[in-house]
């Protein structure tokens, strides 16, 4: 099946008891057994739930994987994956990444003996210098958050295979519609399902997808043993959101392109971070591994003034100033004080993340209204700054 058909049908069957076309919300914690240990495949909803099972099969299909696992958040998914490692193991990580991932690695898992190296992976050849006998995993986020760097997944996969390492790709910014890391050689795909997969800013969830049998067995054990699972209502909402993923992503991409081009031409704007520009350092990689360039755009003003940036964000009317991304509505985020505040300032600035950077999650509204909103907010910001 092609992507749109998979989004609607994969993992989903009419309910056998009623014929319901939509997967029911199995809002139950436990299941009746005919005799001790004799049941219909379900015992307790932390372990298995029919609504969750349908979503996991759907996500596996969208990423062209064999096994899908969903969790109560993207960080819960990441935390579960890190539990497959042991004290002394090392992970090489993209240095421009979601602040919550950095915090989890540095302030939680390093305490228990894992070691993380945060490096620039735009040139994949640089990775090998950090690999040693303790390295077990490479962690890639592409496009990166929030500087929109592009990392060659196939190139990193070749290095991972050469040294017998696991390659995990955080595919949140791209979604399975734009990019399928398993097809490019990755071993594991991670998603903050909260974002494009859910698509409506009403669910917090994470997911892991793999085709490795042994790893899947470990993840299934940990999912049950640790218990950071989502409820059936959230699984239902994500199943519903995924049915329009292909339609939404087309509009996100189109609007994102128009907004990026408009910003680039604006006389007050300094730099625009968008992988769809031919001037982007790894634009050729993005063209090779992505179907389109997504709806995420970051930028700075020519005047490197934090008060100006804050005034702009405070005067938006259609864009909402809020954390998160990937919903149908357009959002504006200030990474330094919001999504990346947990990364020390000096570490942020090493990667190029300045306090004046603004990140846009471009929604699916009429793009003319979005441009008008950006325009009036810029005008008001400069009026306020001149007083």
Are the C-beta atoms of residues 31 and 40 closer than 8 Å to each other? yes
The residue with tokens 């509009």 is: 251
Q: Would you call 273 helix, strand, or coil by DSSP?
A: strand
Are the C-beta atoms of residues 196 and 59 closer than 8 Å to each other? no
Structure-token pair, residue 358 = 């603004």
271 has catalytic annotation: no
Query: Dihedrals φ, ψ of 229, to 5°?
Result: -105, 150
C-alpha Rg value of the chain to the nearest Å: 21
46 has catalytic annotation: yes
Cα distance between residue 112 and residue 228, in whole Å:
19
Catalytic residue among 52, 53, 79, 98: 98
Strands (E), the chain: 67-71, 90-94, 115-119, 135-141, 166-170, 188-192, 206-210, 269-273, 296-301, 320-321, 331-333, 358-361
Catalytic residue among 31, 46, 243, 380: 46
Per DSSP, the residues of 182-243 read GGGT-SEEEEETTTTTT-SS----EEEEE--HHHHHHHHHHHHHH-----HHHHHHHHHHHT
Cα distance between residue 104 and residue 76, in whole Å:
10
Cα distance between residue 341 and residue 329, in whole Å:
23
Work out the angle at residue 19's Cα, subtended by the Cα atoms of residues 55 and 229, and round it to the nearest 5 degrees: 25
Q: Are strands 296-301 and 358-361 parallel, antiparallel or unpaired?
A: antiparallel
Buried (b) or exposed (e) across 143-180, using 16+ Cβ within 10 A?
bbbbbbbbbbbebbbebbeeeebbbbbbbbbbbbbbbb
Catalytic residue among 195, 248, 310, 359: 195
Cα distance between residue 209 and residue 61, in whole Å:
9
Cα distance between residue 376 and residue 387, in whole Å:
17
202 has catalytic annotation: no
195 has catalytic annotation: yes
Structure-token pair, residue 3 = 């992507």
Catalytic residue among 170, 187, 234, 373: 170
Q: How many CA atoms lie within 13 A of 211 on its CB side?
A: 13
Active site residues per annotation: 46, 98, 170, 195
């Amino acid at each position: 099946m092609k992507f749109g058909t998979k989004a609607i049908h994969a993992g989903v069957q009419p309910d056998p008891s009623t014929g319901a076309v939509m997967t029911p919300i199995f809002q139950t914690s436990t299941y009746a057994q005919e005799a001790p240990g004799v049941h219909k495949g379900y015992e307790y909803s932390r372990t298995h739930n029919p609504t969750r099972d349908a979503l996991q099969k759907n996500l596996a299909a969208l990423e062209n994987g064999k096994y899908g696992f969903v969790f109560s958040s993207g960080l819960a998914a990441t935390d579960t994956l890190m539990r497959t490692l042991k004290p002394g193991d090392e992970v090489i990580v993209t240095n421009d990444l979601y602040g919550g991932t950095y915090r989890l690695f540095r302030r939680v898992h390093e305490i228990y003996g894992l070691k993380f190296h945060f490096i620039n992976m735009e040139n994949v050849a640089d990775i090998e210098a950090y690999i040693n006998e303790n390295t077990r995993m490479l962690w890639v986020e592409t496009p990166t958050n929030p500087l929109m760097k592009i990392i060659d997944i196939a190139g990193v996969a070749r290095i991972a295979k050469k040294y017998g390492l696991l390659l995990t790709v955080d595919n949140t910014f791209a979604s399975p519609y734009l990019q399928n890391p398993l097809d490019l050689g990755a071993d594991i795909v991670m998603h903050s399902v909260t974002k494009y997969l859910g698509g409506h800013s009403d669910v917090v969830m994470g997911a892991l997808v793999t085709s490795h049998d042994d790893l899947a067995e470990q993840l299934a054990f940990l999912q049950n043993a640790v218990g950071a699972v989502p409820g059936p209502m959230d699984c239902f909402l994500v199943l519903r959101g995924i049915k329009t993923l292909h339609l939404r992503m087309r509009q996100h991409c189109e609007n994102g392109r128009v907004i990026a081009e408009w910003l680039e031409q604006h006389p007050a704007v300094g730099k625009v971070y968008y992988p769809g520009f031919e001037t982007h350092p790894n634009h050729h990689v993005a063209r090779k591994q992505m179907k389109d360039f997504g709806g995420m755009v970051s930028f700075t003003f020519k005047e490197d003034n934090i008060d100006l940036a804050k005034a702009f964000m405070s005067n938006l009317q259609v864009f909402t100033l809020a954390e998160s991304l990937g919903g149908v509505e357009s959002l504006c985020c200030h990474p330094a004080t919001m999504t990346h505040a947990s990364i020390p300032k000096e570490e942020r600035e090493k990667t190029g993340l300045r306090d004046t950077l603004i990140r846009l999650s471009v929604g699916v509204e009429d793009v003319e209204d979005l441009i008008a909103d950006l325009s009036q907010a810029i005008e008001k910001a400069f009026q306020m700054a001149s007083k």
